[in-house]
Amino acid sequence: MPGTEENTAAIVRAALDEWKAGIDTHDPQRVADVFTADAIFQGLRPYSVGRQGVFDYYDSQPQGMTVDFRFLETRRPADDVALGYLVAEFAFRDRDPVHLNLSVVVTRTDDDWRIAHYQVSPVPQPPGHRYGAGD
């Protein structure tokens, strides 16, 4: 398998750190720039293809939204491809946070590593579960 899990995580983390910085500062262009020109993006709405869809999605998010993430798995199926499976918490000023599973495919481009595929899904919880400090 190409690469080590350690450098695979570093590759994915670098892309997601930039994604996070754009979200935390409500800079949708900065977020969109982390994606490839033909990225498949599946947020919590119908999917889009390309940076404009990413820009529009994050531009519509409320001011003050922030995100934190934690890796569950990484893989490196090829020299120019890294996969990440994570849990992300999107926090808001005026409502409870949203916890999502996040899968990304990061590919090497001419100038850097960029997100080529992004998909989120709700984190399933047992009935009656409330998120706490340990989640």
Q: Which two tokens stand for residue 109?
A: 């481009």
Domain-located, residue 127: no
The yes-or-no verdict on residue 126 having pLDDT over 90 is: no
Residue spans of alpha helices (H) in the chain: 5-24, 28-32, 51-59
The yes-or-no verdict on residue 102 having pLDDT over 60 is: yes
For the chain, how many structural domains are there in total? Answer: 1
pLDDT of residue 69: 97
β-pairing verdict for 113-122 and 98-108: antiparallel
pLDDT of residue 13: 98
Domain-located, residue 100: yes
Residue scoring higher pLDDT (88 or 124):
88
Q: Which residues contact 11 (CB under 8 A, 6 or more apart)?
A: 3, 82, 106, 113
pLDDT in tens, 60-99: 999 999 999 999 999 999 999 999 999 999 999 999 999 9
Domain-located, residue 131: no
Domain-located, residue 72: yes
What CATH number does the domain containing 112 carry? 3.10.450.50
Q: Which residues contact 132 (CB under 8 A, 6 or more apart)?
A: none
Domain-located, residue 70: yes
pLDDT of residue 133: 44
The yes-or-no verdict on residue 2 having pLDDT over 60 is: no
β-pairing verdict for 81-91 and 98-108: antiparallel
Length of the chain: 135
Mean pLDDT check: name the lowest of 24-28, 64-68, 81-85, 109-113. 109-113
30 is in which domain, residue-wise?
2-122
Domain-located, residue 80: yes
Identify the band that residue 1 occupies on the pLDDT scale cut at 50, 70 and 90: very low
Question: Among residues of the chain, what percentage have pLDDT more than 70?
Answer: 88
